[in-house]
A and B are shown apart, each in its own frame.
Chain A
Amino acid sequence: MEKNSTRNLILTLAAIGIISALLLTFVYEWTTPYIQANQAKAQKQAINEVLPNVEEVEEVEKNGNVFYEGYDNNGNRIGVAFKNSGGGYNGMIEVMIGVDLNNEKIYKISVLNHQETPGLGARITEDDFKSNFVNKPFGDYTVVKKPPTEDTQVEAIAGATISSESITKVIENGLDKITEAYGGGN
């Protein structure tokens, strides 16, 4: 039989495709639990980071969004964590925002995922930048290029204004969703 006959070509590619798919099925089954565990761990760490002294976390769905309500060891709700994402300079930025609903301020933020430029935009994950948002009251923020003088100002990372503005927008937008879901109070 002719080696380059159409039938042979189809059979060869089909055989390689089937064997590949079979092998990858095993690899997928083997690695998926680890991948999910990694993601769950990263998320849990982020919640613990943005809500101070949290003992228990409860998942609540409101308006189609999932909020993580944090309780201390006396069962009092200390705040809510919310995962929001939006476009950055290179790709999506995913941020966990922890807020104190009673005082309408941010506890802390944590960056879960981003694709910003290493050494520039990627510095949104550093404490220097994240401290911009510690104990910040809710509001409309403006990104400034010099040390902030007002509560609503956020100091941009030098050379990464777009990344700084993007993450600020993601946070503002997240705060809106939280206020909407919780009506601005406990």
Chain B
Amino acid sequence: MSLDLKQIVSDFKNGLWAENPIIRLVIGMCPTLAVTNTTENGLAMGLATSFVLVSSEIVISLIKKLIPANVRIPSYILIIATFVTFVDYFLKAFFPGIAASLSIFIPLIVVNCLILGRQEAFASKHSTPRAIADGIGMGLGFTWVLVLLGAIRELFGMGSIFGFTLLGEWYRPMVIMVLPAGAFITLGILVGIMNQISREGK
């Protein structure tokens, strides 16, 4: 096992843009659409998912040779569920406010296909250092898009970002932006813009 630094950097960068989970691979849509109604929720969901992603990529890349191919999916899910339960308890104990606003979407990280997808596509085939780089890259790639989505929706839907009011009394909030429909509209426009940017870059 050789440590190729260049390879690791490119694994890390991969998730930020070229294979960004939300705007490129379009996976992990359930939390993307459901909890980005405020910036804070987006950030918390992004970080919680990143933690689970990196931890399970580490464990799975370490024990990949021990897991028989026939039970790899249930094994991955068990490992992922362990870390998710850990996050759930941790948030309830130390960040009760965030735990209350994300509620059911924390346990649902277990079935986020981004996490299972990266185990199957990456961690089970590559070395641990590369898996860590991939996990962090994908996690940050997921987080920045969630924060951006949350910020846009919160700004138009409530006139604030991170709970700080930016638009004054004169602004009449667009209620649709904090409802599920607002998530679809914002995400669609965002993916369109990103596609345009990467097309021009070529």
Knowing A4-B70, A119-B173, A119-B175 are in contact, say whether A20-B89 is a contact too (CB < 8 A): no
Flag whether B82 is at the interface (Cβ < 8 A): yes
Instruction: Indicate if the CB atoms of B70 and A9 lie closer than 8 Å.
Output: yes
Binds B, one of A97-105, A110-118, A163-171: A110-118
The number of chain A residues with a CB under 8 A from chain B is 28
Q: How far is the CA of A118 from the CA of B93 in the complex (A)?
A: 23
Instruction: Indicate if the CB atoms of B71 and A28 lie closer than 8 Å.
Output: no
CB-CB < 8 A to A91: which residues of B?
103
CB-CB < 8 A to A183: which residues of B?
none
Flag whether A73 is at the interface (Cβ < 8 A): no
Q: How far is the CA of A16 from the CA of B77 in the complex (A)?
A: 10
Instruction: Indicate if the CB atoms of A9 and B68 lie closer than 8 Å.
Output: yes
CB-CB < 8 A to B184: which residues of A?
none
Flag whether B157 is at the interface (Cβ < 8 A): yes
Instruction: Indicate if the CB atoms of B82 and A24 lie closer than 8 Å.
Output: yes
Show 13 residue pairs from A and B whose CB-CB distance is below 8 angstroms, ordered by the A residue.
Answer: A13-B71, A13-B78, A27-B86, A31-B93, A34-B92, A34-B93, A38-B96, A113-B100, A115-B103, A115-B104, A117-B37, A120-B178, A159-B175
Task: Give the contacts of B103-143 with A (CB-CB under 8 A).
Answer: 103-104
CB-CB < 8 A to A64: which residues of B?
none
Binary B-proximity of A4-33 (CB < 8 A = 1, otherwise 0)? 100011001100110010011001101110
Across the interface, A120 reaches (CB within 8 A) one of B41, B74, B100, B175, namely B175
Flag whether B85 is at the interface (Cβ < 8 A): yes
Instruction: Indicate if the CB atoms of A31 and B92 lie closer than 8 Å.
Output: yes
A39 to chain B, nearest CB (A): 8
Knowing A12-B75, A118-B101 are in contact, say whether A23-B175 is a contact too (CB < 8 A): no
Instruction: Indicate if the CB atoms of B85 and A24 lie closer than 8 Å.
Output: yes
B61 to chain A, nearest CB (A): 15
A contact face: mostly helix, strand, loop, or mixed: helix
Knowing A12-B71, A24-B85, A159-B175 are in contact, say whether A17-B78 is a contact too (CB < 8 A): yes
Across the interface, A23 reaches (CB within 8 A) one of B66, B68, B82, B158, namely B82
Instruction: Indicate if the CB atoms of A31 and B71 lie closer than 8 Å.
Output: no
CB-CB < 8 A to B158: which residues of A?
118-119
Closest to A24 in B: B85
Knowing A4-B70, A119-B37, A120-B175 are in contact, say whether A13-B89 is a contact too (CB < 8 A): no
Q: How far is the CA of A32 from the CA of B158 in the complex (A)?
A: 35
Instruction: Indicate if the CB atoms of A13 and B75 lie closer than 8 Å.
Output: yes
> Which of the listed residues A9, A12, A24, A115 has the most CB atoms from chain B within 10 Å of its own CB?
A12
Instruction: Indicate if the CB atoms of B96 and A9 lie closer than 8 Å.
Output: no
Q: How far is the CA of A86 from the CA of B172 in the complex (A)?
A: 31
Q: How far is the CA of A27 from the CA of B87 in the complex (A)?
A: 10
A27 to chain B, nearest CB (A): 5
Across the interface, B67 reaches (CB within 8 A) one of A12, A34, A113, A159, namely A12
CB-CB < 8 A to A12: which residues of B?
66-68, 71, 75
Q: How far is the CA of A8 from the CA of B70 in the complex (A)?
A: 10
CB-CB < 8 A to B85: which residues of A?
24, 27
Across the interface, B78 reaches (CB within 8 A) one of A9, A20, A32, namely A20
Binary A-proximity of B91-102 (CB < 8 A = 1, otherwise 0)? 011101000110
Q: How far is the CA of A150 from the CA of B41 in the complex (A)?
A: 39
CB-CB < 8 A to A4: which residues of B?
68-70
CB-CB < 8 A to B93: which residues of A?
30-32, 34-35, 38
Q: How far is the CA of A42 from the CA of B97 in the complex (A)?
A: 11
Q: How far is the CA of A9 from the CA of B70 in the complex (A)?
A: 7
